[in-house]
Chain A
Amino acid sequence: MDIVVLIKQVPSTANTRMDPETGVMIRDASETVLNPLDEHAITEAARIKGRFPGSTVTAITMGPPAARRVLLEACARGADRGILLSHKAFGGSDTLATSRVLAATIRKTGGFDLILAGEKATDGETGQTGPMTAAFLNLPVVTFVNRLDVEGDSIVARRIVEEGEEEVLVRLPALVTVVRDINNPPLPTVRQYVIAKKIIFPVWGPQDIGMEEADAGLKGSATRVAKIFSPRLSRNTTYMEAGNEAKMAAAATAILEVLKGRDLMKKGEGHGN
């Protein structure tokens, strides 16, 4: 099995704040992490590799030069090699342009059985990159997968949807996006990092993947951010000070009244049932 894992460097959420004065995001570029769901994708790839000796796992990321750190982490977590897509022409890509770049890279390297991606990234939160990449590659995609089994030339994937779980059988090659229930990623060991550090990651630009610069980056993107704003939130709030128990009891009564007023407190239907 030759497996590709798509991974992304994201700002660590704990360190993403907004400047209350200007509304601008404060992002410390040094405080970035591997997208949490991508850890699960790599772990799954490593698990499958363990089941089928001779398998390879290639991690691919598009991002700034510093994103090579997530490739390193991917290799410590079980990937054999990594490709960094970094070039000024890639900057400002929306999910459409990103997927085009990722698909071109996969096409270029060729011959994969399975592509894994996170269901979504914690920064953009779109969850579009996986399905779009699959579409550009003309591959079937299974999203929201929480269990994956390889059976012969196919996979059986269990996906979590609104009202339950469904299983589908898909002939490989295919792309799968995973949710966090799929596995518990172990922390990589120091030894694994030491080994990973020896791996050299090629850095590719548009030429290397046979792509026109205009199809990537801002130029290749179909969407534009028109504006960013802090929403004006307002309801007519009635305030109650509840600094002590007696006041809080009054507040509790007020809440009960709200529920009664909306017919949400049915007498006699207490906790007896």
Chain B
Amino acid sequence: MEIKGNIMVLAEVRSGNVHSVTYEMIAWGRRLAEKTDVLVDCLVLGTGEGDFEELIRGGADRVLVVSPGMPDSRLATPAASLLVSAIRGERPDIVIAPATTYGRTIMPIAAARLGTGLTADCTDLDIDPKDSLLMQTRPAIGGNIMATIKTPRTRPQMATVRPRSIKPLPADTGRRGEVVRKDYSLEGEWQERFISFIRSEEGDANLESAEIVLTGGKGIKSRDNFKQLAELAGLMGAGLGATRDAVEAGWAPFSCQVGLTGKTVAPKVYIAAGVSGKIQHLAGMITSDYIVAINEDPKAQIFKVADLGIIGDAPMAVQELTRAFKSHSEKGEGA
């Protein structure tokens, strides 16, 4: 297969540091590059510091560092302007960025300026062997449908990609690549000034990095039952998740929502209790290592993605698990 430019991966820079989600994007880039025989360029905007060799060990062929004149990586206009300059200069065929607040802000600005298409929130990327076009797949409205979108006429083909939709590649210490400093300049002025950033102490971030996630859906049945589920999560050291319907019922705050409109998680063990498994929910948890589903309906779609499927009452499962955990930790404390 042949495509006419490299694959550009936009690094996520937070507070002057390259964020780990960048390695996931590089992994996507590598997967596409293997099919097309082009280079994976990782574009770093807004910081001149960092272990760029690490990005090469993570799968990049070149790291393009655009640092001078960059006032603050958080400001959309200058970041998007540099991204546009870099795309014009490098002429990549494909540009991907994480579907984070950063990527979701600057990618649309850049796509509009370049007059090209952008697909949001992809969960899968591939190259069509027939026409060498990027196949951008994302969940679509309506329950259980996925849509594959192409950008046939304009270049580059741009996509934001859900965090945790792929595992980063293991660091390859033997990989060789280049770190190239580029001095693309900022076009025009910008009217934004950064005032402050306040890191939240809240447990949100914990949900995304938790090794166990326990999620409740409508099948939990009541607010009280959901409270018990939350206590169980505390007992297990698990992050607490909720479906959108559970959030809408007022059982859990929006910050717990897992899925297309909520958070994406990929824990070692994901436990879904009373969750039907609509595609919008699956979009937020399908890359978990091991999935346990508890549902009274043996035909529930969640079982199709489960490793362990427990057919039964979700509130009862919460009770039994709580009992099991309590007796385990009592035994454990003595040992």
A-side residues, CB < 8 A to B, are 11, 16-18, 23, 25, 27, 94-96, 99, 120, 122-128, 130-136, 140-144, 156, 159-171, 174, 180, 221-231, 233-243, 245, 247-249, 251-256, 258-259, 262, 264-272
Q: Which of A17, A144, A233, A272 has the most CB of B within 10 A?
A: A233
Chain B residues with CB under 8 A of A265: 328
Known contacts A136-B112, A224-B150, A262-B290; A253/B200 CB under 8 A: no
Q: Report yes or no: A259 in contact with B269, Cβ–Cβ below 8 A.
A: yes
Among B106, B135, B306, point to the contact of A237 (Cβ < 8 A): B306
Least CB separation from A163: chain B residue: B199
Q: Report yes or no: B196 in contact with A166, Cβ–Cβ below 8 A.
A: yes
Q: Which of A131, A159, A227, A228 has the most CB of B within 10 A?
A: A131
Among B195, B212, B268, B304, point to the contact of A169 (Cβ < 8 A): B195
The reply to whether the CB of B171 lies closer than 8 angstroms to some CB of chain A is: no
A-B pair count, CB < 8 Å, reads 298
Q: Report yes or no: B311 in contact with A258, Cβ–Cβ below 8 A.
A: no
The reply to whether the CB of B61 lies closer than 8 angstroms to some CB of chain A is: no
Lowest 3 CB-CB distances: which A-B pairs, in order?
Answer: A270-B329, A222-B117, A242-B312
| One of B33-41, B44-52, B75-83 contacting the partner | B75-83
Q: Which of B112, B312, B325 has the most CB of A within 10 A?
A: B112
Among B75, B100, B235, B269, point to the contact of A162 (Cβ < 8 A): B100
| One of B62-70, B118-126, B221-229 contacting the partner | B118-126
Q: Report yes or no: B109 in contact with A248, Cβ–Cβ below 8 A.
A: no
Number of interface residues of B (CB under 8 A): 104
Among B298, B305, B332, point to the contact of A267 (Cβ < 8 A): B332
Task: State the CA gap A123–B200 with chains docked (Å).
Answer: 30
Chain B residues with CB under 8 A of A171: 191
Question: In whole Å, how far is A15's beta carbon from the nearest beta carbon of chain B?
Answer: 11
Q: Report yes or no: A164 in contact with B197, Cβ–Cβ below 8 A.
A: yes
**28 interchain pairs, CB-CB under 8 A:** A16-B143, A25-B141, A131-B112, A132-B109, A132-B112, A141-B105, A161-B74, A162-B14, A162-B101, A163-B199, A164-B200, A167-B196, A171-B191, A222-B151, A222-B153, A222-B154, A228-B140, A228-B145, A231-B146, A233-B282, A239-B310, A247-B312, A252-B324, A254-B308, A255-B324, A258-B308, A264-B212, A270-B330
The reply to whether the CB of B89 lies closer than 8 angstroms to some CB of chain A is: no
Chain A residues with CB under 8 A of B271: 255
Secondary structure class of chain B's binding surface, majority of residues: mixed
Q: Report yes or no: B192 in contact with A169, Cβ–Cβ below 8 A.
A: yes
Task: State the CA gap A164–B201 with chains docked (Å).
Answer: 8
Task: State the CA gap A155–B120 with chains docked (Å).
Answer: 28
Q: Report yes or no: B195 in contact with A168, Cβ–Cβ below 8 A.
A: yes
The reply to whether the CB of B168 lies closer than 8 angstroms to some CB of chain A is: no
Q: Report yes or no: B335 in contact with A163, Cβ–Cβ below 8 A.
A: no
Chain B residues with CB under 8 A of A18: 142-145
Known contacts A131-B108, A241-B312, A255-B292; A231/B117 CB under 8 A: no
Q: Report yes or no: B109 in contact with A144, Cβ–Cβ below 8 A.
A: no
Question: In whole Å, how far is B200's beta carbon from the nearest beta carbon of chain A?
Answer: 4
Q: Report yes or no: B313 in contact with A248, Cβ–Cβ below 8 A.
A: yes
Chain B residues with CB under 8 A of A180: 254
Question: In whole Å, how far is B167's beta carbon from the nearest beta carbon of chain A?
Answer: 16
Least CB separation from A16: chain B residue: B142
Question: In whole Å, how far is A21's beta carbon from the nearest beta carbon of chain B?
Answer: 13
| One of B2-10, B173-181, B314-322 contacting the partner | B314-322
Q: Report yes or no: B108 in contact with A128, Cβ–Cβ below 8 A.
A: yes
Q: Which of A134, A164, A229, A254 has the most CB of B within 10 A?
A: A164
Q: Report yes or no: A224 in contact with B152, Cβ–Cβ below 8 A.
A: yes
Among B140, B192, B289, B312, point to the contact of A248 (Cβ < 8 A): B312
Chain B residues with CB under 8 A of A226: 128, 135, 148-150
Chain B residues with CB under 8 A of A270: 235, 325-326, 328-330, 332-333
Least CB separation from B74: chain A residue: A166
Question: In whole Å, how far is A105's beta carbon from the nearest beta carbon of chain B?
Answer: 15
Q: Report yes or no: B151 in contact with A223, Cβ–Cβ below 8 A.
A: yes
Chain B residues with CB under 8 A of A122: 141, 261
Q: Report yes or no: A264 in contact with B269, Cβ–Cβ below 8 A.
A: yes
The reply to whether the CB of B85 lies closer than 8 angstroms to some CB of chain A is: no
Among B108, B147, B289, B305, point to the contact of A132 (Cβ < 8 A): B108
Question: In whole Å, how far is B100's beta carbon from the nearest beta carbon of chain A?
Answer: 6
Chain B residues with CB under 8 A of A245: 316, 320
Chain B residues with CB under 8 A of A23: 144-145
Question: In whole Å, how far is A23's beta carbon from the nearest beta carbon of chain B?
Answer: 7
The reply to whether the CB of B291 lies closer than 8 angstroms to some CB of chain A is: yes
Chain B residues with CB under 8 A of A166: 74, 194-198
